[in-house]
Amino acid sequence: MTSEYRLKRRVQFYETDAAGIVHFSWYLRYMEEAEHALWREAGISIAPAGSEIGWPRVAISCEYHSALFFEDEIEILMRVATISRKTIRYECVITRGDDRIATAAMTIVCVIKKAGEPMRALPIPTDVIERLGVAVDA
């Protein structure tokens, strides 16, 4: 069971804007990178080949506490906060050493996606819940 994952990485030059500061949109990419690493650590994939199940993002929030710059070494802590019948909510903290850079949350929903049909929510597969190691909220 894996309910959190710590991803360490270095800020790349292309992630910065003209002022040399990491562009705000990259924080969401960092979250997604850590999310996928969390799933891999749990022995599953968020997007296995041929799967009709998808995980669109339905809510994201992020508070920026300090700037990041090229070559900064950062850690992204991604934690499964709650799992409901059809959604997973993550909490994320991005740090540089002891400095808190950003705090964020993201909610994804389990959907079925078939060609020519609209996506519709469905219950999260049991193996995903078991591998992510968090009790389902009522």
What confidence tens digit (pLDDT) does each residue in 70-118 have?
999 999 999 999 999 999 999 999 999 999 999 999 999 999 998 899 9
Instruction: Give catalytic residue positions.
Output: 17
Average confidence (pLDDT) over 10-25: 95
Alpha-carbon distance of 16 to 37, in angstroms, equals: 23
Q: Using one digit for the tens of pLDDT, what is the confidence trace for 59-72?
A: 999 999 999 999 99
Is 15 in contact with 26 (CB distance < 8 Å)? yes
Is 11 in contact with 22 (CB distance < 8 Å)? yes
- The CATH number corresponding to 4-129 among 3.90.1150.10, 3.10.129.10, 1.10.645.10, 3.40.50.11030 equals 3.10.129.10
Threshold 0.85, pTM exceeds:
yes
CA angle 110, 115, 118 (to 5 degrees): 55
Q: pLDDT at residue 34 above 80? A: yes
Q: pLDDT at residue 54 above 60? A: yes
Q: Which of 49, 112, 44, 53 is nearest to 80 (CA)?
A: 44
